[in-house]
Amino acid sequence: MTGRHRDSILRVDLTCGTVERERVPEEWRRRFLGGKGLGARYLYEELAPGTDPLGPANLLAFALGPLSGYLPGESRYAAVTKSPLTGTFLDSYGGGAFPDALAGALSDCLALLVVGRADERTTLVVEDGDARLRSAAALGGADVEATDTAYDGAVACVGPAGESRVAYATVATDGGDHHAGRGGAGAVMGAKRLKAIVARGDPPEGHADLRERYERAYEESDVGRWQAAGETVESLDFANEVGALATRGWQTGRFEGAEGIGVEPIRERAVGREHPDRGVPGGFRVETDDGESVPRGATPMSLGAGLGIDDVDAVAALGATCDRLGLDVISAGSAVAWAIRAAERGLIDRDLAFGDPGAARELVREIATRSTPLGDALADGVAAAVATYGGDDLVPTVKSMELPAYDPRVAPAMALAYATSDRGACHRRARPIEEEAFAAGTWTDAERVRAVVSAQDARSVRWSLVGDDFVAETLDDLGAEWLEAVGLDYTREELARLGERVWNLARLFNAREGFDRADDRLPEPLREPLDGDEARAIDPAAFEHLLDAYYAARGWGENGLPTRATLARLDLLETADDATPLDDPLTDP
């Protein structure tokens, strides 16, 4: 299978029960590669403005890239759709065994494009370059672990949260060890009555020497040593050290119980690491009362410090509950934290308190099943609960997505990254806090903008290749050498431009949905100094100046919309349609 080119997609229409193979336009493959880029191109082409994310017209892509199965580290796939949580463009990434199996099962295809809605709960089986639909009626209400074990093959599925259309439901793989987590791709899958995708195939082989060289380079890099030592769970220790760990519902930046839930206690309890055969260590496997779990950085941060829980076993168990139900742990933790603070303020009538894992787990289950009025409200996200009960100053959101537990008041560039993220508040698009937090307030706005823009563009390339997030950071040429190995000729400069093109295309999609500068806002809870320290504050007026500088660097107008000149430079001018507002019109008046 060495050198096999992926040039097609499988389109699955659940309403009609059909599967058709289509050739991807060569221009699209050249300009967008795969993964995020190609998913964004299909989404912008096929979705009418205002499409209901949970309606049959929404498109859900499971996308690979031209290097899927080849790159070192953990393989991934991209789930691309319109988010039911934010209403924006959404790309979310999952790992585990499923992406490799999907890469083998899809043969020469870059993606599954799923449209429509099935009459009954359904499973899609993919193998030998084709797909077929099967009934999954017997799996109604099953959690992701039970669903995974019901099939022979690698499984991507939804749990009760996806079936209940919780706006931040995940698509789970490896029985809940991995998730395409943020933004609610699992809710879209559940709304389509697609319970699972089963992939049966072996990943492509070849380029072993190149792979081995990149594995060695990764092992010797700073990020490789960091991941080998602590994986992402060390993020809690970092955030606590710099005073940016959102604690007890964003009320303070440090958690006195951090030592009990950080990397050391998780390492001590670990019974092993994930995928040791891939040459790059994965997450720590720990035992809980409900079986093994793989807590990642967001688990102790959002479900531990965020909820005031200082017992690592309780945090791991709570994370395992979210994983099996198919809930994003960041949004779930924020929802519970908001409910605790709302109860303290008297906005809701519920006996809740920080530091109580039992009450948190009960509320998480209510959210996943929408079984109580409070659970039902929180299932649509914190912003939706605020619209019902009040309390918009309690837990921050951007574009209705709950913030990860890095408090940006110690690093204004992080606030800019959250505000301008294309899928709502996200630390994966850019994470400048890792540098700015140690800069003692010396960064200029130009440095902040440069850090955010460069990371957003570089990661747009990596997510169009669809590689391991961390291993891909060692691709100094953005993947040009690897693409040449599979017969695709790109320079680093062409790939950098491709990343910028993909970022702008997602912005066009969001602009067409009505998003502009007003949505790139500084959340209300972040307008006050952290822990009363004026040195750890983001001045709203200063933030607006920072946003101006970001828009200027992007070549966008003052409303945060791309201009004709920028689109022409990125070969996107003919792509933009008349329904998409720009900061200058497509045609002269």
DSSP assignment of 162-184: HHTT-TTBPEEEGGGTEEE-TT-
Structure tokens belonging to residue 490: 């790109």
Q: Based on the fold, state whether residues 390 and 516 are members of the same structural domain.
A: no
**What does the pLDDT read at residue 230?**
82
**What does the pLDDT read at residue 222?**
87
Q: Based on the fold, state whether residues 314 and 275 are members of the same structural domain.
A: yes
- Spatial neighbors of 465 by CB under 8 A, at least 6 apart, are 33, 34, 35, 65, 66, 67, 71, 472, 479, 482, 483
Q: Based on the fold, state whether residues 185 and 312 are members of the same structural domain.
A: no
Asked, for residue 587, whether it belongs to a domain, the answer is no
Task: Tell me how far CA of residue 387 lies from CA of 350, 380, 382, in angstroms.
Answer: 18, 11, 9
For residue 463, give the H/E element and its range. Answer: helix 445-465
Asked, for residue 218, whether it belongs to a domain, the answer is no
CATH number at residue 443: 1.10.599.10
Domain ends where: 340, 368, 402?
A: 402
Asked, for residue 211, whether it belongs to a domain, the answer is no
The letter for the amino acid at 277 is D
Q: Based on the fold, state whether residues 351 and 291 are members of the same structural domain.
A: yes
**What does the pLDDT read at residue 119?**
97
Helix (H, G, I), strand (E, B) or coil at 508: helix
Furthest C-alpha separation in the chain? 67
User: Would you write out the chain's pLDDT as a tens digit for each of its 589 residues?
Assistant: 344 589 999 999 999 999 999 999 999 999 999 999 999 999 999 999 999 999 999 999 999 999 998 988 889 999 999 999 999 999 999 999 999 999 999 999 999 999 999 999 999 999 999 999 999 999 999 999 999 999 999 999 999 999 999 999 999 999 999 999 999 999 999 999 999 999 999 988 889 999 889 988 888 888 888 888 888 889 999 999 999 999 999 999 999 999 999 999 998 888 888 866 666 778 888 888 877 788 888 999 999 999 999 999 999 999 999 999 999 999 999 999 999 999 999 999 999 999 999 999 999 999 999 999 999 999 999 999 999 999 999 999 999 999 999 999 999 999 999 999 999 999 999 999 999 999 978 999 999 999 999 999 999 999 999 988 888 888 999 999 999 999 999 999 999 999 999 999 999 999 999 999 999 999 999 999 998 888 888 999 999 999 999 999 999 999 999 999 999 999 999 999 999 999 985 544 3
φ and ψ of 576, to 5 deg: -60, 135
CATH number at residue 114: 3.60.9.10
Question: Per residue in 137-176, pLDDT tens?
Answer: 999 999 999 999 999 999 999 999 999 999 999 999 999 9
CB 332 within 8 A of CB 304: no
Asked, for residue 52, whether it belongs to a domain, the answer is yes
Asked, for residue 209, whether it belongs to a domain, the answer is no
CATH number at residue 365: 1.10.569.10
Asked, for residue 565, whether it belongs to a domain, the answer is yes
Q: Based on the fold, state whether residues 395 and 487 are members of the same structural domain.
A: no
HSE-up (13 A, CA, CB side) for residue 304: 36
Helix (H, G, I), strand (E, B) or coil at 120: coil
Which domain does 99 fall in, by range? Answer: 8-200
Locus of tokens 């009505």: 514
Give the residue among 402, 391, 384 at the shortest CA–CA distance from 342. 391
Q: Model-level pTM?
A: 0.96
Asked, for residue 447, whether it belongs to a domain, the answer is yes
Q: Based on the fold, state whether residues 412 and 377 are members of the same structural domain.
A: no
**What does the pLDDT read at residue 2?**
42
- Count of domains forming the chain: 3
Using CA atoms, how far apart are residues 507 and 40, in angstroms rounded to an integer? 10
Task: Tell me how far CA of residue 57 lies from CA of 46, 114, 117, 520, 589, in angstroms.
Answer: 9, 10, 8, 27, 33
CB 257 within 8 A of CB 310: yes
Asked, for residue 578, whether it belongs to a domain, the answer is no
Helix (H, G, I), strand (E, B) or coil at 292: strand
Structure tokens belonging to residue 486: 């599979």
Q: Based on the fold, state whether residues 186 and 70 are members of the same structural domain.
A: yes
Q: Based on the fold, state whether residues 397 and 420 are members of the same structural domain.
A: no
Q: Based on the fold, state whether residues 396 and 418 are members of the same structural domain.
A: no
Locus of tokens 């059909």: 18
Using CA atoms, how far apart are residues 438 and 129, in angstroms rounded to an integer? 50
Domain ends where: 377, 402, 427?
A: 402
Q: Based on the fold, state whether residues 168 and 240 are members of the same structural domain.
A: no
Q: Based on the fold, state whether residues 267 and 395 are members of the same structural domain.
A: yes
**Pairing assessment for the beta strands 60-63 and 77-82 based on DSSP bridges:** antiparallel
Structure tokens belonging to residue 7: 């040039």
CB 20 within 8 A of CB 148: no
Q: Based on the fold, state whether residues 288 and 175 are members of the same structural domain.
A: no
> Three-state secondary structure along 48-79?
CCCCCCCCCCCCEEEECCCCCCCCCCCCCEEE
User: Could you tell me the end-to-end alpha-carbon distance of the chain, in angstroms, rounded to an integer?
Assistant: 54
Q: Is residue 436 packed enough to be buried (19+ CB in 10 Å), middle (13-18) or exposed (0-12)?
A: buried
